[in-house]
Structure 1
Amino acid sequence: MTLQKKLITLTLVWTMLVIILGAYTRLTDAGLGCPDWPGCYGFLKVPHKPEKMQIAAERFPERPLEHAKAWNEMIHRYLAGTLGLLIAALAVMHWRRQQSGRLLPSALLLIVIFQATLGAWTVTMGLLPIVVLAHLMFGFTLFSLLALYWLQQRPAWRSQDQRLKPLLPLALLSLLVVTLQIALGGWTAANYAALACIDLPFCEAGWSNRLAFTEAFDLHLGHDDYEYGVMSQDARATIHVLHRLGAIVTTLVVASFAWRLYRQAQEQLMRRLALALAAVLALQLTLGLLNIVLHLPLLNAVAHNFVGANLLMLSVVICYQIAYPKPQEA
C-alpha cells in the first residue's frame, strides 16, 4: 500500500473519530464548554491552575468553567484541527504528484476550512441552530467525499456493472431522502427536540392539534445563547414528529432501492453494498426507536449520529458506483 493510500485510510478513520466525538460533545451539552474560540477561556488548553481559573472567571463571569465539558470541547477541536492538517497533506500530495482528478481533494480542503469556520461560529454565535446543523451536514459530507476519494484510489473496489444505470434515478432519490432525513435529525438535535415526544408511534395524545410549523422552522435569530433551545414545546414536538415521519419514508425508499439493487446487481461487490445499505438502515431505525424508548441514552444517541453518517456515506458511494462504473477490461 502506497503512502498516499495509507494517509487516505488514516484520514477516513480520523474523520470517524471526529464525528463520534462531535456528537458526544453536543450530547453532553459541552458545545459551549469553552465559550471562546480557538482557545479556552483565553488559553490554549483548559485552565487548571488557580490563578488561570481566576482569570477565566473574570473573562467569562456568565459561564463558569466546567472542566469535563471544557476538555470535551477542546479534545474535539484538537482532533478536528489534526483532521484539517491531514486533508491539507492529502491535497498537497495529490497536486505535487500531478495526478488527474484534482477536483475532489481540492473540494475536501475547501470543506474542511469551511468546517473550521462553522466550528468557530458554533461557539461565537452561542449554538445557533442553523450553524449547528450546517456544521453537522458538512461534517457528514466531508466523510462521504473522503470515502469516495478512498474508493478512487482502489480500482479493485470499483464496479464494472454497466447494467445498473437504469437504477440511478432511484439511487439519487434514495440519497436525497437520506440527506433530508439527516437534516431533520440535525435540526431536531440542534433545537433540543430529541425528547419532545416520548410516546409511540408519533407523540403524546393530541399532538396533531398542537403542530407549529412556522415556529418549528423559524431561524429564531437575535438570541445571545441558544443552549438548551429557545423554541416552544409545540414547535419542538413538531420537528420531532416530522423526523419520525421522515424515518418511515426513508425506510420505505431506501429499503426498496436496496432490494432492487440486490436483485439486479450482477457483481458480488454491488450485492454486498446493497446488503450493507439495508443493514445500516435497519440499525439506524433500531437506534432511533431505542432513543425514544430509553429516553435518549448517551451512547445510543452517539451511535445514532455515527450510523447516520455511514448511511449517507454508503448512499453516496453506491450512487457513484452506479453512475461511474469502471470500464470493462478487455
Structure 2
Amino acid sequence: MFVLQLALIGLCVALFPLSYVLVKGDAAKFRKLLWVTTFITLDLVMFGSFTRLTDSGLGCPDWPGCYGTASPFVAHHAIRLAEAAMPTGPVTMTKAWIEMTHRYVAMAVGVLIIAQLLIVVLRRRQLRVSWLWPAGLLALICVQGAFGAWTVTLKLQPVIVTIHLLLGLALLAGLGWFAASQTPQPAHAPARGAEVRRWRTAAVAGLLLLIVQIALGGWVSTNYAVLACTDFPTCNGQWLPPMDFAQGFHLWRKLGLTGNGEVIAQDALVAIHWTHRTFAVIVIAYLAWLGIRLKRFAVLRGPARLLLLMTAVQLLTGLSNIVLKWPLLIAVMHNGGAAVMLLCLIMLNYRIASSRPGRPGSAGKATRTAVTL
C-alpha cells in the first residue's frame, strides 16, 4: 500500500514541472519538457550530493519507503526511537526528510521520463523522434533506482554509492543530449564545419577525462577521504606522502573497512585523495586548453566559455574544500560544478557531431518539435 502512496507522491511532485511546461506560451512544449527534466535531474544530482555530505544516506534505513511507510510523518515514532538510541547516528528526523526528499524528486524525474516516452509514442508522426531515447532513459533510471536501493541495503558501500553517482550523471548526460537533439543549434559557415569536426576526438577525450575525474571524486567522497590531505599543494607536508593504493582502491569492501574487514588505514585514504588531486591537474589543464581552442568557433562559443568558467570554479571550490575543512555549501557546489561541466562537454560534443554533412538542419528540428502536449 505504501508503494502506491510513494508513486502518488512522485506523481504530485512531477505535476509542478509538467504544469510549468503546459502553461508556458512556447509552442515547442516537448522541447521545453526535455530541458525542464534535464534541469531537475541536475538538481537531483546536487541534492544527492547534499544527502551524502550530510550523512543522510541511511536517514531511512529501508527502501523505497521509510520504516515501511511513505513518509517520515508516518514513521515519526520509529525515527524518534532510533534517534533516542543513537543521537548522533545515521537516523534522525532531519536526515530522514533529506533522504526521502531525494527519493521523491527521483521518482518525479521517473514520471517526467515516462511522460516523454508516452508523448513520443502518441505523437511520433508530428515529432519524428525515436521512442528508443526515452525508453533508454527510463531503463537507465530504473537501474539507477536499483543502485539507490543497494546503497541503503548495503549500508553505503563505497563502490555502490560511486556507481549510483555515475549512473545519475549518465542520466543527466543522456537527457542533455536528447534535449540538444530537439533544439535548433546555432548556424555556422559550411567552410567552418570541417574545421569544427576536426575537434571531435579532442572533445570526446575531454569528456572521458572528466568522467574518470568524477569517478575519482566520487570515490573520495564515498570514502570520506576529502580531509586525508590537510594542506595544499603538498599533502600533509609532503609531495609524495605514504600511500596504500591496494587498500584505497580495493573496490568490493564495506565503508571504512578493508577487504579483510579491518579498519581502513589513513595511508589508504591519502592514496585516494592524492590520486584525485593529481589527476585533477591533468583534467583542468586539458579542459582549459580545450575551452580556449573551441571558443573561437561561433557554434561552440557558448558551451566552451561556460566550460572555462566552470573549470575555474571547480579549481577554486576544490581548493576551498581543503583549506576551509570541507564546508557543506562549497562541497555541494563542487559536486554540482562537475555535473555542469559534464553538460558543457555533452553540448560541445553534440554540436561538433551535428556539424557532420547530412545531419538534419536546425530549421527542421524547430518544426518537428513545435507541437503541443
User: Does the alignment reach a TM-score above 0.5?
Assistant: yes
**Counterpart residue identity of residue 321, structure 1:** R
Per-residue CA deviation, residues 164-221 of structure 1 (Å, 9 max, x unaligned), is 1111111111111111111100000011101111111131134625111111110243
**Pairing 1:127–2:127 present:** no
Which residue of structure 2 aligns with residue 193 of structure 1? 225
Q: CA deviation at 1:7?
A: 1.8
Kindly tell me the number of residue pairs found equivalent between the two proteins: 324
Which residue of structure 2 aligns with residue 73 of structure 1? 99
SS of aligned partner of 1:94? helix
Distance across 2 between alignment mates of 1:328 and 1:53: 56
8 A Cα contact 2:56 2:98, kept in partner: yes
**Counterpart residue identity of residue 350, structure 2:** Y
Match of 2:294 among 261, 265, 284: 261
Which residue of structure 2 aligns with residue 314 of structure 1? 344
Per-residue CA deviation, residues 264-319 of structure 1 (Å, 9 max, x unaligned), is x2x2x312221111111111111111111111110100010011001111112211
Counterparts of residues 1-330 of structure 1 (less than 5 Å): 1=26, 2-47=28-73, 52=78, 65-98=91-124, 99-157=128-186, 161-206=193-238, 208-221=240-253, 223=254, 231-263=264-296, 265=297, 267=298, 269-325=299-355, 326=359
Moved more, 198-207 or 163-172: 198-207
Q: TM-score, length-normalised on structure 1?
A: 0.89
Distance across 2 between alignment mates of 1:53 and 1:298: 24
Per-residue CA deviation, residues 72-110 of structure 1 (Å, 9 max, x unaligned), is 101111111111111111112112222333332222111
8 A Cα contact 1:280 1:307, kept in partner: yes
SS of aligned partner of 1:46? coil
Q: TM-score, length-normalised on structure 2?
A: 0.80
Q: CA deviation at 1:48?
A: 6.2
Distance 1:294 1:53, change over 3 A: closer
Moved more, 270-279 or 119-128: 270-279
Distance 1:49 1:73, change over 3 A: closer
Distance across 2 between alignment mates of 1:189 and 1:147: 25
SS of aligned partner of 1:42? coil
**Counterpart residue identity of residue 131, structure 1:** I
**Counterpart residue identity of residue 306, structure 1:** G
Distance across 1 between alignment mates of 2:285 and 2:80: 56
**Counterpart residue identity of residue 240, structure 1:** H
**Counterpart residue identity of residue 30, structure 2:** Q
Distance across 1 between alignment mates of 2:361 and 2:104: 44
Distance across 2 between alignment mates of 1:292 and 1:322: 36
Distance across 1 between alignment mates of 2:99 and 2:145: 14
Distance 1:314 1:230, change over 3 A: farther
Distance across 1 between alignment mates of 2:115 and 2:131: 14
Per-residue CA deviation, residues 232-283 of structure 1 (Å, 9 max, x unaligned), is 21111111011111110001111111122123x2x2x312221111111111
SS of aligned partner of 1:155? coil
Distance across 1 between alignment mates of 2:322 and 2:83: 38
**Counterpart residue identity of residue 321, structure 2:** N
Q: CA deviation at 1:226?
A: 5.4
| Deviant stretches of 4+, over 6 Å | 54-58
**Counterpart residue identity of residue 140, structure 2:** I
In structure 1, list runs of 5 or more residues that go unmatched: none
